[in-house]
């Protein structure tokens, strides 16, 4: 559940726009692979398949991708993790 300006969001409309069959464009963080940097965890953009590193990684490429594209939904790109996150609604979904 997310609260913004006293509006309670319990369902994310952005979830309707994701591609359920989206695959990652790379096996690791796209930008970190190019610059030879390490990452902690990976995030998959559910709009275009961009793979970026999480906010615990020094480069935060997943969030930077959202900031530059406004693609709202990501999911974990880690094996065994099945959650999603909406940047716009600030909503976590399992």
| CATH at residue 44 | 3.30.40.10
- Contact (CB, 8 A) for 29 and 61: yes
Q: What residues are paired with 92 via a beta bridge?
A: 85
Which pLDDT tens digit goes with each residue over 1-42? 444 555 555 678 998 889 889 999 999 999 999 999 999 999
Q: What is the pLDDT of residue 7?
A: 55
Closest to 78 in 3D by CA, of 35, 34, 40: 40
Q: What is the pLDDT of residue 2?
A: 44
Please count the structural domains in the chain.
Answer: 1
Residue range(s) defining the domain that contains residue 43: 2-93
Rounded to two decimals, what is the model's pTM? 0.87
Q: What is the mean pLDDT of the chain?
A: 91
């Amino acid at each position: 559940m997310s609260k913004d300006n006293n509006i309670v969001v319990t369902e994310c409309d952005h979830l309707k726009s994701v591609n359920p069959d989206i695959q990652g464009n790379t096996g690791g963080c796209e930008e970190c692979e190019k610059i030879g940097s390490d990452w902690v965890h990976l995030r998959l953009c559910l709009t275009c398949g961009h793979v970026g590193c999480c906010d615990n990684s020094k480069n935060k490429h997943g969030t930077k991708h959202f900031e530059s594209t406004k693609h709202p939904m990501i999911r974990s790109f880690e094996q065994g993790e099945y959650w999603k996150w909406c940047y716009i609604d600030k909503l976590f979904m399992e």
